[in-house]
Structure 1
């Protein structure tokens, strides 16, 4: 099976929305409203510039088969940019077919061609499939950082302080 991976463009909003809806269910969230997901996808893809991509989509036989959501962070103490992989998602019907590996290869190639030194990522501790997948790729587990989140009421308080 051939997997085609590319940076999402405004024309891919429906494909992105489809994957976002499937992803919400997988990650044990309330199902997303399809129209809301499409509206958000159109907005996000319409705001993106080709120089700063955020979504890579994988397609098999013209059908969307996976998503990688990324952000590029500028230099830290090592003066190298990094790619933060926020989400890598492959729907159940496309798993174990090379889609995830194709998405990672696409991102890694982008990093190498753009002088980006590493890809950082997180996954849930309950997501055994993702942990096995990343282990097969040789992803290193780092215990130096603790994942933290500022949201909800704490985010509002921080904005007012």
Structure 2
């Protein structure tokens, strides 16, 4: 099975929207409205800089089957940038077929070509499949950071005090 991984362009907005809807279901979020997801995908892909793409999509036989959502951060260790992997998602019917590995390989190749020193990521402590996957890749677990979030009313309150 050949996996085609590429940075998403505006032409792949529909494929990205499909994946966004499936990610929401997987993470037990309220289902996304397909039109709203498509609108968001079109907007995001239209705003992306070619230097810093944010969505990689994996296709098998022309059908989208995986998504990686990333951000590039400055500076990393020794003034090298880092790639933060926000989400790696493979459709349920395509899991354990090398799609996730193909996405990570694509991102690793991008990092090497662009002088990006590392890939950082998080996963939920309950997501045993993801933990096994990343352990199998040789990912190092780092316990020296605590994941924090500012959102909702807290975010509004902070913004109004600035």
Same fold per superposition (TM over 0.5): yes
Structure-2 residue corresponding to 1:2: 2
Deviation at 1:160, TM superposition (A): 1.2
Matches within 5 A, 1:30-69: 30-69=30-69
Structure-1 residue corresponding to 2:114: 114
1:19 aligns with 2:15: no
1:88 aligns with 2:114: no
TM-score norm. by structure 1 comes to: 0.98
Segments of 5+ residues of structure 1 without an aligned counterpart are none
Deviation at 1:158, TM superposition (A): 0.9
Give the Cα separation in 2 of the matches to 1:109 and 1:12: 21
- CA deviation string 1:66-120 (max 9, x = no partner): 0000000011453110000000000101100000000000000000010000000
Give the Cα separation in 1 of the matches to 2:77 and 2:107: 23
Q: After the TM superposition, which segments of 4 or more aligned residues of structure 1 sit over 6 Å from their partners?
A: none
- The number of aligned residues is 161
Deviation at 1:49, TM superposition (A): 1.7
TM-score norm. by structure 2 comes to: 0.98
Structure-2 residue corresponding to 1:125: 125
Deviation at 1:64, TM superposition (A): 0.2
Segments of 5+ residues of structure 2 without an aligned counterpart are none
Give the Cα separation in 2 of the matches to 1:54 and 1:40: 13
SS at match of 2:72: strand
Structure-2 residue corresponding to 1:73: 73
Q: Is the 8 A contact 2:77 2:117 kept in 1?
A: no
Deviation at 1:21, TM superposition (A): 0.5
